[in-house]
Amino acid sequence: MESRILRPTLALYTVLFLLFLYGPMIVLTILSFQSADGGPQFPIREWSVYWYEHLLGFAETSRVSQLPVGDSLLRSIVLAFMTTVVSTVLGVMSAEAFRTRFKGSGPAFYLIILGMMVPGVLVGLGMALLSNTLGIARAWWGTSFVLHVVYTYPFAFLVMLAIFNRFDRTVEEASLSLGVSPAQTFRRVTFPIIFPGVLSAMLFSFTLSYDEFARTLFTAGRELTLPLAIYGTFSVEIYPNIFAFGVLTTLFSFTLLVIYGLLMKRFTSKASRYSGQEDA
Amino acid sequence: MTALTTDTPSTTPHSPAELREKKDRRRAIALLSPGLLWMTLFMVLPMAMVIYVSFWTQTTFSVNSTLTTASWERFLSSATYLGAIWTTLRIWLIVLIATIVVGYPVALFIGLFVRNKTLQTALLVACVIPFWTSFLIRVIAWRPMLGTEGAINMILMKLGIISEPLTFLLFSEFSVLVGMTQIYCVFMVGPITFMLGRIDISVIEAARDLGASFGTIFRRIILPLSLPGVMVGSIFVSVMVLGEFATAASLSGRKTNLLGNIIVSQVGSLKWAFAAVAGVVLTIIITAVIALALRLVDLRKEM
């Protein structure tokens, strides 16, 4: 390859691309430290953490009303947790089913995958119409929840499918034929192999549901989830408190990511220690 | 799957292989049925409902189930709504091309030029990290960037390139296109990088040893082998952009109306039948796009 020109050019391009990707967030982070009398733009009048205090309710009442984050944050976390549990269980079960070949597996596969393809605004509309017709009250823990699972279950399913594809079935069969009980086999053989996948599926489901907005918009009823609360502020003028909020939620998500990383690391190091004992 | 499968030859006329197949099938169905039931009840049924309601009668603040094509006639004879179809298709096509053009060189670099596995992973992670910021926040982050008092105007004015702030940057179709390209680009970079990473380097080296220029290598080896990645990325980007409304709502200053925006505003004014018509039109468009893409690539094989 003519890498003498091409490689540096592509490297520079990638750097510019990352700048494009991160630029808005960097600007937003800088502006979140705007002073109380400053607006959501440059210049920074004075550096301050006023908008963080404002967000958390420590600032004195001002011209800007506080973002309604408290309750909605709790709702979003509970909803994401419910979604994670259900979609991971469904994902593992379905992927396990796909380990054997059976008639009709093609349509079944596409029916599941469709869940991540259908635009949220469409299923949201459909669910709202359905609940109107059937007289079911719309609520974040009901109508929104089932749609969140429709969205995240395909992701969990695909992750588990990828794990099972690499999973040699004979290992399980060897364990069983050596007289180990199915329960013991699952605990000692199957589970350790699929656990990283389960963890990834859970991470996917949680972050997707936590941030899901289109599917919730028509189906949440009166009580808002976090993305809905943010969306509500879009129509009015924006203030740096949204920026402060953006920075804080990003930090929260990173905490989740770090927990995931630590769990993964701890698990893999434990697994390698175990195989080390086997060798000895 | 117990250890007792192959115990005694059974008295039934079926062979053990047949029996096992039947048993596997029953087990697969048992494991799959909760998921498929969930999808049928909460995805297929709502979608069917959208189609059904699009033929309902719309009164001022409610709908009733008397069947009519009035909403369809109104939709198809309104310049505003036909315009929304055109806007949706135009924005989709531009963003799709933009994500390919912007993303492909990045994927080429990460997938093919970076040999160090750690650096490769680090670069991919760097591309994915912005996704841990809320989608709506990433959209709103473009406002202080593109506004008349925003970062880009400020920098350009400091550098003396412009004397007046550029006003077309924000609250225009331009800002919607930039925002969507940034947000969805990674869905293009990922699959293409994945396909490029699978290319056997020795194939490229062989071609080079035989005297092929990079242009030839790219055209004859790299591009064809990366096309499935482009297709998978295109499917991702297409379904997401076609169903979009939040980016247009917050960055276009209500100047850009996609079909998604029509649905949201119609639901807001309780015009359910009308929203349903827009929903069906959107479904038709997306189905056509996915069907076209699936003819070109087998999704199940690529995953």
Amino acid at B97: I
pLDDT tens sequence across B192-242: 998 998 888 888 889 989 988 888 988 989 998 898 899 989 998 999 999
Residue B58, strand partner residues? B63
Instruction: Give pLDDT tens digits for A44-93.
Output: 777 888 888 888 877 776 667 777 777 888 999 999 999 999 999 999 99
pLDDT at site A279? 42
Cα pseudo-dihedral B220, B225, B230, B235, rounded to 10: 130
Residue B4 has pLDDT above 60, yes or no: no
**CB pair distance less than 8 Å for A213 and B138:** no
pLDDT in tens, B67-115: 888 889 989 998 889 999 999 999 999 999 999 999 999 999 998 888 7
Q: From A173, which residue of chain B is nearest by alpha-carbon distance?
A: B3
Per-domain residue ranges of chain B? 16-53, 72-302
Percent of chain A at pLDDT exceeding 90: 32
pLDDT at A273 over 60: no
Residue B63: strand pairing partners: B58
Quick count: other Cβ atoms within 10 Å of Cβ B120? Answer: 17
How far, in Å, CA of B134 to CA of B140, rounded?
10
**Across the interface, do A17 and B286 touch by the CB < 8 Å criterion?**
no
Residue B256: partners with Cβ closer than 8 Å, 6 or more residues away: B87, B91, B173, B176, B248
ipTM of the complex: 0.85
Share of chain A above pLDDT 70, in %: 93
Domains of chain A, with CATH numbers? 1-64+239-280 (no CATH), 70-235 (1.10.3720.10)
A57/A140: higher pLDDT: A140
Q: How many CB pairs under 8 A join A and B?
A: 261
Interface test with B, best of A41, A205, A212 (most B CBs within 10 A): A41
B2: nearest CB among A97, A100, A182: A182
Identify the pLDDT of residue A234: 72
Does pLDDT of A276 surpass 80? no
In the CATH scheme, what is the code of domain B72-302? 1.10.3720.10
Confidence of residue B167 (pLDDT cuts 50, 70, 90): confident
Confidence category of residue B55, pLDDT binned at 50, 70, 90: very high
- Cα distance between residue A49 and residue A35, in whole Å: 7
Candidates B35, B123, B245; nearest CB to A121: B245
Cβ contact A42–B154 (<8 Å): yes
pLDDT band per the 50, 70, 90 thresholds, residue B13: low
How high is the pLDDT of residue B298? 66
CB atoms within 10 A of CB B94: 16
- Interface contact flag, A127 B142, Cβ < 8 Å: no
Q: For residue A134, how many other CB atoms are within 10 A of its CB?
A: 8
Alpha-carbon distance of B187 to B289, in angstroms, equals 17
Picking from B43, B110, B141, the nearest residue to A118 by CB comes out as: B43
As a whole number, the mean pLDDT across chain B is 87
A57: tokens are: 């309710």
Q: Considering only CA atoms, which of B271, B280, B276 is closest in space to residue B59?
A: B271
Residue B211 is classified by DSSP as T
Which residues does chain A have within 8 Å of residue B32's beta carbon, measured at their own beta carbons?
93-94, 97, 108
Are A242 and B31 inside 8 Å of each other by CB? no
Shortest CB distance from B239 goes to which of A20, A119, A253?
A119
